[in-house]
Amino acid sequence: PSDYYFFMDDDITVGKKTLELYMEHAHENCCLTQWGKVGGKNPGHAYTSGQEYSARRISKPMPVEAVIGRGSIFCSFNGLVNMLELEKELRKHPAYEMGREADIILGMANDSMAVPAYDNPEALMVDMGEKGVGMVRESGHYQKRSRIMEVIYDIRKRQNQSNK
């Protein structure tokens, strides 16, 4: 086990100070990203609606309900364990697709934050372009991701009620 794990898409790469930025904001049950979303009236649809937070546009860390796969995720060991526990429950649901929602599950299982890098261009992730490929090109991709968010909200609601 490591204290922290770093995940990133195949169409981006790190800047010179990306890991320093993440370490500056890391904590025990965290999941950090440079890109995240917070939902509106229906938080289960945060993926296709809601407010986006990007490291390029924020000046302080912002809590997010969902981390967005396009980019990178930095999480603690506990954060990874939290994800695996949530995924055990999700595997029972027909809307779950192995591999498609890993970033959403990781982000929603933890205290997730979008971290700022607007004043530090060396900390920003470097976009290498999708080159016309990827799951985002599949029909219904965003709707599937919103649906799994709804399922996660329902699971968390049940867990919170049983813990009372």
For 75-98, the pLDDT digits (tens) are 999 999 999 999 998 998 988 887
pLDDT value for 137: 66
Which residues face 6 on adjacent strands?
Answer: 74
Residue type, 82: N
Q: How far apart are CA 164 and CA 160, in angstroms?
A: 7
- pTM (2 decimals)? 0.81
Q: How far apart are CA 160 and CA 9, in angstroms?
A: 32
pLDDT for 31 beyond 90: no
Residue type, 55: A
pLDDT for 4 beyond 90: yes
Joined together, the tokens standing for residue 90 give 């999700």
Q: Say whether 5 sits in a helix, a strand or coil.
A: strand
What length does the chain have? 164
